[in-house]
Structure 1
Amino acid sequence: MQWYEKLNNYFPEHEMKDPGQLQALLEASPYYHKEETEDYLILYAEFPSFLFIDYLLVTSQNRGKGIGSKLLDRFKQKGKMILLEAEPADAEDQDTVKRMNFYLKNGFKKADRIMYTREDGDGETFEMNILYWQPYEEDQSIVMEKMKKACSEIHNFHSHKYYGRTLADPKKALEWKH
């Protein structure tokens, strides 16, 4: 699975799913898809009312050429809310700042009312931001409901088989900020 190596070389280890889980998602989930060209690699789920981008990677030699923005624009044309997760911007890690700026520049908003805590394969917790784009204005409660579905259908897909537990229990991983 050469595509998995590309992802694994780019994304932080704690964000990577087990390769077996990703392969099972691609083979058995009616929602999960992979698109790969020489310029990019994207794994996403398309549900009836929203899209969840699990991994988006533009190859290093093609970054800054508008490829990622064109891909997001193509997804926006479906007229559905788009959700994705991103590491909090950290001035010590310029890649996190660049990623956040990229999504904000492309019209995504940070779900600032939702606290999202994930667990890696070893059970260590880490925080992620939920970013969303919507074709029409909706309350963040809608973002929360759609994110619960993404956790259940994608992150937890056969998670007991690959990790021995639920990775992103929506009742624990997602909560309203006060």
Structure 2
Amino acid sequence: MSFYDRLSNYFPEHEMKHEGQLNDLIDHHEAYKVHEEEDFVVTYAEFPDFIFIDYLLVSPKTRGKGTGTKVLDTFKRRHKNIILEVEPPDGDDSDTVGRIRFYEKNGFQKAEHIEYTRSDDDGTPYTMDIYYWTPNEDGEKSILKQMATVCREIHNFRALKYYGRLIAEPDEVLSWLH
């Protein structure tokens, strides 16, 4: 099974990038990478001052055995901010609560002042929470700027080709809450 199939079997459809876009990112964007092993798949973009983890999937048979923590620790050793998009907790989906608990256990915190809302292909809006880990004292304003870079460079990479629209214009999808 391809890494894309593994990811799309787990993540909600509206969160999955088009397979062509994901392959183009891997093949043509110098910052974007995929690391796949039997126990996990992670796709990410590494910029000079931060890392954006796009997808992290730990195989069901190895969940709860430290695999995800080891992957995150590898990124933490690079001493850069790490940013993630996480589904808000949903009482009907215990995985959402488990993911949040996992990231918080690994030192990530929710960006309380950043609202991030995108639309799926049908125009239905959905909100994701931004979680981050920082090796220094960078505040949420820095995270907001870095997330805007993610929107422009990763989410909108060849988006017109695959979706017929830019899917994450920072001024439209990111808001600062006071």
Q: Per-residue deviation at 1:125?
A: 1.2
Q: TM-score, normalised by structure 2?
A: 0.98
Counterpart position of 1:76: 76
The SS at the match of 2:85 is strand
Partner letter of residue 12 of structure 2? P
Partner letter of residue 108 of structure 1? F
Per-residue CA deviation, residues 22-66 of structure 1 (Å, 9 max, x unaligned), is 000001000000000000000000000000000000001110000
Q: Per-residue deviation at 1:139?
A: 1.7
Cα distance between partner residues in 1 of 2:32 and 2:122: 24
Counterpart position of 1:11: 11
Q: TM-score, normalised by structure 1?
A: 0.98
Cα distance between partner residues in 1 of 2:48 and 2:85: 19
Counterpart position of 1:46: 46
Partner letter of residue 172 of structure 2? K
Counterpart position of 2:129: 129
Cα distance between partner residues in 2 of 1:52 and 1:122: 26
Partner letter of residue 105 of structure 1? K
Unaligned runs of at least 5 residues, structure 2: none
When the two chains are superposed, the root-mean-square deviation of aligned CA atoms in Å is 0.9
1:55 and 2:55 matched? yes
Cα distance between partner residues in 1 of 2:108 and 2:23: 28
List 4+ stretches of structure 1 deviating above 6 A.
none
Counterpart position of 2:25: 25
1:93 and 2:121 matched? no
Q: Per-residue deviation at 1:120?
A: 1.9
Identity, in percent, stands at 52
Unaligned runs of at least 5 residues, structure 1: none
Q: Per-residue deviation at 1:3?
A: 1.0
The aligned length equals 178
1:103 and 2:114 matched? no
The SS at the match of 2:9 is helix
Counterpart position of 1:153: 153
The SS at the match of 2:70 is helix
Cα distance between partner residues in 2 of 1:121 and 1:40: 28
Cα distance between partner residues in 1 of 2:123 and 2:36: 30
Cα distance between partner residues in 2 of 1:70 and 1:84: 16
1:119 and 2:119 matched? yes
